[in-house]
Amino acid sequence: MKRNIKNMVLAAMFLAIGLVLPIFTGQIPQIGNMLLPMHIPVFLCGLICGWQYGGIIGLILPLLRSALFGMPVFFPTATAMAFELMTYGLVAGLLYSRSKWQCIRALYRCLITAMLAGRVVWGIVQVVQFGLMGSVLTWQIFLAEAFLNAIPGILIQLILIPSVMVALNRTGLVRFHRMQPL
């Protein structure tokens, strides 16, 4: 019970961070969106609170942000992002919780796998949405939007998220550990 309350409070904090962080990065119009500010709290939520919380926060965050601030645009951007971020939270949290060792190496494996899975899900949702609009998502658009334009944000995630997790480990708030045999 106590752990559930702690995770709910932390998940709410990650949701709040995800709502506010894009306001700061949006002040740099040329690269603000490329920094992927909503992704970071979702990844951290999945890793720290678990895949269930990470998935829920990932699903809610872009939709709520769209409803509150009008950005990202609800359709097709926020709807595609909702599935993408849900996948990030689910995959990162699930893989990390099931890792034999919870360490930096496992963290990077989980992050990279989740990033790839999330981008694939985003692409699938975009194909469906583009089809509904009578348009086509080409490979060039998919690669540009999912990977090339996202390089600054991906690099920030690969530096910042492990740094936060190492800092939390050093303070004892979130520990790296070896999974106990059953």
| SS3 at position 155 | helix
Q: Is the pLDDT of residue 93 over 60?
A: yes
Give me the domain span that covers residue 89.
2-178
User: Residue 181: is its pLDDT beyond 60?
Assistant: no
Decide: 100 and 175 in contact? Cβ < 8 Å: no
**Which CATH number belongs to the domain containing residue 47 in this structure?**
1.10.1760.20
User: What percent of the chain stands above pLDDT 70?
Assistant: 96
Domain count, the chain: 1
Our CA angle for 22, 25, 28, nearest 5°, is: 140
* Residue 16 pLDDT: 98
pLDDT of residue 178: 67
Q: Is the pLDDT of residue 182 over 70?
A: no
What's the average model confidence in pLDDT over 166-178?
Answer: 89
**Per-residue pLDDT for 111 more than 60?**
yes
Asked if the bond preceding 22 is cis, omega within 30° of 0, the reply is no
